[in-house]
Every structure is written in C-alpha cells, then in structure tokens.
Amino acid sequence: MSASLASASATTAPDLNALCNNRHLIQTALRVFTVMPWFTVPRRPTGPSRRAVRLLAVLLCLSPIVLTSGACASNQAPPASARATATRTPPPTKPYVNATVPASQSGYDWREFEGTADGWQSRSSQSNEWSGLNRAALNLHSASALIADERGAVLYSKNARAVRPIASVTKLMTAMVVLDTGVSLKNDIRIIEEDRDRLKNSRSRLRINDTVLSRREMIMVALMSSDNRAAHALGRTTFRGGTTEFVQAMNRKARSLGMHNTQFVDSSGLDPRNRSTAEDLVKMVRAASNYPLIRETTSRGEMTLRPFADGTALQYRNTNPLVRSPDWTVEVSKTGFINEAGRCLVMRARIDNRSLYMVFLGSDGKLSTVGDSNRVRDWILTSRRTTAAR
C-alpha cells in the first residue's frame, strides 16, 4: 500500500511553481483525493483500526499539497521585519547633489572663498610669497577680474563681487553636472531640432538630425569649441526630466560649491540670465580642475571628429588661443561671449611653477581677455624677478 501511496503522490502532486501560480490546481487536487477510489484498505482489521488506516492514507496524500501551499506563501509574502527594513531604508543619494570639490592640499575650504575689496587685500598681504607684488602696476581692461593661487591667496581683484552675465563659461558647469551623474559617456546623442538656438541664432556645424556623437564627444565639442547645440543636447538628454531638471542640478551644484551669487537658467550660456561673479567663478574653475576629461579637453589645442554618417571630418580648435602658445601652460580654461556679457575668460594656468586661477569678465575687444592674461603673467614674473634681485 505504501508503494501505491508514494506512486499516487508523485502522480497527483502538482509542480511547486505551478501551484504557486494557480490556486485552482490545489482546489482540483483536493477534489480528486476526496472522490477517487484509487487506493484500497484490507478488510482486516475492521472498526476503529480500519478507520485509522484510512485516515493515515488521506493524510499522506494531502501532505505534499499542504507543504506546497506553505512554500507558496513564504515565497509570495516576505517577513514583516524585512518589509519594515525595506521601508526604512532611504534611497541612494544622487551623486550630483553632493558632488563637492575634494579638499585642497593646503586644507583651505574654497566654499568660504569670499571677501570685500579690503578683505582681498588683507588676505593676500598675509602671504609672504606675493608680498612683493605691486598691484598699482597692473592695469586690466576687463570689467571684473580676480587672480588667486591654489591656497586661496588673492593676488589681484577688481569688482570681484559684481554679478554679471557669464555667457559660455556656463559650459564648465554643464560638463561637471553631466560627469557627476555617472551616466555612460559612450552612449550616442543625436542633434535634433530642439537643440537649435532660437534665442541668439548662433551658428553650429553640427547639422540637425544628421549629427550623432557620443556623450563624451559632445562634452568635448561643448568645451573646446563652445558649441551651443552640443551643450543643449547634453542638458536635454542627461536626466529624465530633460533640460528643466538639468538646470536644477546646475544650481544645486553651484550652491554645493559655495557659489552664492550664481544663477543658471540654461546649459549653454546663451541666456544672459546665467549670471555669476569673478569670486564665484574661481570656485567653479577650481572644481572643474578635478575632472580629468575637463582638464584634458580644455587644455588641448585642437581635435578632429566625424559626427556625420558619411564620415566627413570636422576640425575643432580651442577658443582660447593661449593653449597653443609656447609661453603658457594652461591646465583648465573656458571662454565666453554674448553681447550682454562681453568677452569672458576663466582658466587655471601655471606661472613661475605655480598654479593660478584667473577670471576675466566683461572685456570689450575680441582679444582683450588674452591681453589681460599676458599682462598678469608679465606682472607676476617681473615682480618675482625684482623681489629676487633685492
């Protein structure tokens, strides 16, 4: 009889997964056990013993179904403690929200880099290294300017807290926000009609619907040649919320860097409501210098890309001519221009074996920021030689 029961159990017990997925099978099996006379009990013994044997047989047949139902319940409903733990676990923080700059080697917190004109003067005078600089001898043409070293000592300032449009200097922040998200740089992005500039009607060699570049290449084009369609495409495709969510991330990033007088409204800088100060932009340039791709792209002189299906090559040259000058070692740079902002240039460059941050805003002539940069370099080198000769 035991062999018959085992055979019957193997034949009639449904598969575990099938039972979990269909309660109707369990109900059917129960009906089968109650109506099918597929086992017999010997006539002897009789009475209570016979009833006990019959009850035992029924229990043996039903036990697989009871155990299977328990397994289904355990698979479908996690323990209450696990549900409570899952509920209490906070979602992971998006990297771009907390993407602040690593601490400098000097320990100086650049988020606190600020001061009035008198404050800049007193702070810079405390640095013995720059005590020999004759600030009256430096005459810059830019409306706002600020020169600082890696430790936060200010060599020169002019209207450093004046809020001004910053034009395509914006694209440094655009690149940082994209890189902070950790999104793949290998994914292709197509330039579409939405990326066309209808505010300033600026030109671009990236043809609508015919240009496909990787996200990495889009960043490089936006930074090196200041292409506005590339910058807009980056803002459009990085977050599910599109450009609106991207601009919000730009402003969060600015606040995390201590850029309290900065506002962004687009990813390209075409909108003159993108505004900042020379003081804030020093913080942004320093933050950008922590990104290898930004350093690599903004310090190279030129590159070649093939964004079209027919393989046509496009040659790009850096909008900052100083990167091609043998007299300069530029580590990070970005230019900008719209009528409201004038000519702008921000960069980190090495002068006399020291990395310096330079911000020039609101210059008039096409090469006026380059001229101011050369004046700063000559001023520092001359002052250092004079001090050494004493």
Number of other residues whose CB lies within 10 A of the CB of residue 381: 12
The residue written with tokens 């016979």 in the block is: 50
Could you report how far apart the first and last alpha carbons of the chain are, in Å? 114
Q: How far are the Cα atoms of 43, 44, 49, 168, 280 from residue 319, in angstroms, in the given order?
A: 104, 105, 101, 11, 22
- Say how many C-beta atoms besides its own lie within 10 A of residue 24's C-beta: 9
Distance CA 383, CA 352 (A): 11
Give the pair of three-digit tokens for residue 211: 């240009």
Please check whether residue 260 is in contact with residue 275, taking contact to mean a CB–CB distance below 8 angstroms: no
CB of 122 closer than 8 Å to CB of 153: no
Distance CA 84, CA 342 (A): 58
Chain CA centroid to CA 263, Å: 18
* Per-residue DSSP letter, 142: S
Cis check: omega of the bond before 45, within 30 degrees of 0: yes
Q: Find tokens 């923080």 and name the residue.
A: 93
DSSP alpha helices (H): ranges in 126-224? 170-181, 215-224
Alpha-carbon gap, residue 215 to 352, rounded angstroms: 36
Is residue 119 within 8 Å of 131, Cβ to Cβ?
Answer: no
Catalytic residues: 168, 171, 226
User: How many angstroms separate the most distant Cα atoms in the chain?
Assistant: 126
Judged by DSSP in three states, 301 sits in: coil
Please list, residue by residue across 42-70, b when 16 or more beta carbons sit within 10 angstroms of its beta carbon and e when fewer do: eeeeeeeeeeeeeeebeebbbebbeebee
The CA distance from 271 to 178, in Å, is 20
